[in-house]
Amino acid sequence: MYKWMIILVAVAVIFTGCSGESNEEIIEPTVPVKTMSVTREPVVEKFFSIGEINAEDLFDVMSGGMGEVQQINFQTGDYVKKEDVLFSLNTEDFESNLSLTESQLRTQRDNLYTQLLDLRELFKSQTALYEIGAISKSEYDTTRSNLNQLNQRYLDARNAYDNQVNLREQDLEDRFIKSPIDGIVAAVFISESQTVNNTLAMQIISSENRVATTKVTSAQLDRLKKGMETIIYPEGNLNVRIPGSITSINNIPSSNAGLYEVTIALEENDTRTWPGEYAEIEIIVDRRESLVVPKRAVLSRDEDPHVFVVAGEYAQKIAVVPGITNGDNLEILSGLKQDDQVVVLGQTFLKDGNKIAISEQE
């Protein structure tokens, strides 16, 4: 009897405990977060490649006629303008020989002119005598013929002298060898006091027609077309930029690496470069306006990309399709609209439907 009384008491206690109600309210936890607005901004789609810079035009500068190199004004690496005097040849002996020839021609011209004046006077007097019948027509015709011949000899001598003077000036000018283009001195093959005779003296790289070449994969090739904008960074220096554009795309891959060669024309620029110089090349594939969010706002970017947006007092998980990275931002192709508020701090602690407290909006 006592045993059953104990059991009944225990059951009564159990039922009494189960039927009791708590007056305590369950408080839903709140997650503090920071948010930012979804914005629409310019997005640049690009990729980097490596290549080299070359000169499309390389000019050979010859030494001209025979002579001794007197002075060299530019060395390898110097920038030159068209018509700058690159170097000069000795002019003393050359000018002396030209002056001697010029003097001889001047003397010949002057002697013939003196003879011509005398013969003109003779012909003038003989004309008067012929008119009064004092000399024969044959004698008169002979003097006139001699005058015409001497006059032609004088004209020839005068032209020869004038030509020699012009030639002398031209030949002297040719002793000062000038640059045929704006460019950079790529090589100097002569030295001062060296005797030269129409030999290769210098090579000048044109600063107007430089090209860069790079190789791309088949996936990159599909995105490229002629005229696309590029930026060349000589020696990989991102502080030195040379704009350019794609001029040709080789659709036949190289036999060893299976890559495709792309040629880029560089815009005229004062930046000095060398044939074969290494360069990093930025190829701009597209420019567009897109929705962007900070990269840190997108979670599980590779497998299940999503963000949390503000929905009243709660966080709502939204699946997104990310595009390209644009600096610190990430392009969003779908899933969001402009001015949506996305969580950028505290999102790693969130689950869909969590209550949030916006502590600060960035």
Whether 324 maps to a domain, the answer reads yes
Residues 313 and 281 in one domain: no
Chain mean position to CA 36: 39
Specify whether 269 is located in the same domain as 311. Answer: no
Let me know whether 334 and 278 are in one domain: no
Q: Give yes or no for a contact between 198 and 62, defined as CB atoms under 8 angstroms apart.
A: yes
Taking the C-alpha atoms of residue 119 and residue 125, their distance in angstroms, rounded to an integer, is 10
pLDDT value of position 284: 96
Residues 161, 230, single domain; the answer is no
pLDDT grade for 169, boundaries at 50, 70 and 90: low
Q: What does the block give as tokens for 327?
A: 């600096």
**DSSP strand pairing (306-311 vs 314-319):** antiparallel
Residues 152-156, mean pLDDT to the nearest whole number = 90
pLDDT of residue 2 exceeding 50:
no
279 domain residue, yes or no:
yes
Residue that is last in its domain, among 269, 287, 305: 287
Quick one: pLDDT at residue 342? 96
48 pairs with which residues across the strands? Answer: 282
- Tell me what the mean pLDDT of segment 22-36 comes to: 78
Query: Residue 95 pLDDT more than 80?
Result: no
State residue 170's pLDDT score. 66
**Phi-psi region at 335: left, alpha or beta (left = phi > 0; alpha = psi -120 to 50):** left
CATH number at residue 232: 2.40.30.170
216 & 266 share domain? yes
CATH of the domain at 323: 2.40.420.20
Confidence class for position 94, pLDDT limits 50, 70, 90: low
Q: In this predicted structure, what is the pLDDT of residue 6?
A: 36
Q: Are residues 38 and 51 in the same domain?
A: no
Q: Which of 267, 287, 307 is the last residue of a domain?
A: 287
End-to-end CA distance of the chain: 76
> C-alpha distances in angstroms, 145 versus 116, 123, 157, 237, 306?
12, 10, 18, 82, 111
pLDDT bin (cut points 50, 70, 90) of residue 93 is low
pLDDT at 247 > cutoff 80:
yes
Q: How many CB atoms lie within 10 A of CB 108?
A: 17
- Domain membership of residue 144 (yes or no) is yes
Which of 243, 267, 287 terminates a domain? The answer is 287
Lowest-pLDDT choice from 5-19, 123-137, 154-168? 5-19
- Residue 84: pLDDT above 70? yes
Which sign, positive or negative, has the C-alpha torsion 215, 219, 221, 227?
negative
**Together in a domain, 271 and 297:** no
Contact 228/284 with Cβ under 8 angstroms?
yes
Confidence of residue 20 (pLDDT cuts 50, 70, 90): very low
- In a shared domain, residues 169 and 213: no
Residue 183 lies inside a defined structural domain of this protein? no
For residue 311, tell me if it sits in a domain.
yes
Residue 351's domain spans which residues?
Answer: 30-43+289-361
Residue 331 lies in a domain: yes
All residues at 6 or more sequence positions from 221 whose CB lies less than 8 Å from its CB, including other chains: 249, 251, 260
**Does the pLDDT value for residue 293 go beyond 60?**
yes
In the sheet that 58-62 helps form, which strands lie side by side, from edge to edge?
58-62, 200-206, 183-188, 79-80
Q: Mark whether 98 and 153 lie in a shared domain.
A: yes
Q: Are residues 245 and 303 in the same domain?
A: no
The count of structural domains within the chain is: 3
User: What SS3 state is found at 273?
Assistant: coil
In the structure, what pLDDT confidence band is assigned to residue 56 with cuts at 50, 70 and 90?
A: confident
Return the bridge partners of 195, or none: 68
Would you state the pLDDT for residue 172?
Answer: 73
The rounded mean pLDDT for the chain is 86
Same structural domain, 111 and 147: yes
Is 100 domain-assigned? Answer: yes
Kindly give, in sequence order, each residue whose CB lies less than 8 Å from that of residue 181, ignoring residues fewer than 6 positions away.
Answer: 57, 59, 82, 204, 206, 207, 208
Reply yes or no on whether the pLDDT at 12 is more than 60. no
Q: Give the three-class secondary structure for 227.
A: coil
Which has the higher per-residue pLDDT, 11 or 216? 216
Residue 65 lies in a domain: no
**Domain match, 155 and 212 both:** no
Give the C-alpha separation, 318 to 306, whole Å.
5
pTM for the structure as a whole: 0.56
